[in-house]
A = this chain, B = another copy of it.
C-alpha cells in the first residue's frame, strides 16, 4: 500500500490518469463522461457521484473500491485482515454456511496459534494455484459438510427472526 494519501479525489484521479499516460479527453471518453466535467472533477470543482466515479474507475482500469475510499465514500476497508468480517459480508453464501465457516475458522484459531507465520500479502493473490500440491480436502470431510452447505434443507431461510 504505497499509495500516498491524497486529500482530494480529483488529484488521485489525475495522478492515475497521468500514470496511465492518457489524456483527459481520452479518459473522459473511456469513462463515458464529458471532458469538461472530468476536468472539473480533477481540479476539485465538482464532487462526482458514485455512478460517475464508477465509470472513471472503469476507464482507469482500477478498482472502484479504491476510488471510493479515496473519495471517502467507503470506510477504510478492513477486510484484508478480518476473515470473520469478510465471511459476514459475503452475499454469496447462505446464513448457515456463514455460521459453519465462522465456526471452523474460530476452531482453527483455538487449535493452533500459528504464531508468526507470515505469508506474502500480495494485493492480487493468485486465484487457486498453490505451488505445492496439497490435497484439497478429503471427500469425506466435504461430505460431512454438505448438509450444512444447503442450509436447513429446502425451506426458505426464515428462521432468523423468530421474534415477532
Give, as a whole number of angstroms, the nearest-CB distance from A54 to chain B: 5
**A108 is contacted by which of B101, B103, B130, B154 (Cβ under 8 Å)?**
B101
A157-B101 in contact (CB<8A): no
Q: CB of A86 within 8 A of chain B?
A: yes
Q: Which residues does chain B contribute within 8 Å of A163, judged by CB atoms?
A: 129-130
A101-B101 in contact (CB<8A): yes
A: number of interface residues (CB 8 Å):
96
Give, as a whole number of angstroms, the nearest-CB distance from A132 to chain B: 5
List 9 A–B pairs whose Cβ atoms lie within 8 Å, in order of A's numbering. Answer: A58-B75, A79-B86, A81-B92, A88-B119, A91-B118, A93-B117, A95-B117, A102-B128, A104-B142
Given A50-B50, A91-B114, 5 other A-B contacts at CB below 8 A? A50-B73, A64-B74, A66-B89, A80-B127, A96-B134
Chain A residues proximal to chain B, CB less than 8 Å: 3, 19, 21, 47, 49-51, 53-54, 58, 62-66, 68-69, 71, 73-75, 78-109, 111-122, 125, 127-130, 132-134, 136-137, 140-142, 144-146, 148-151, 153-163
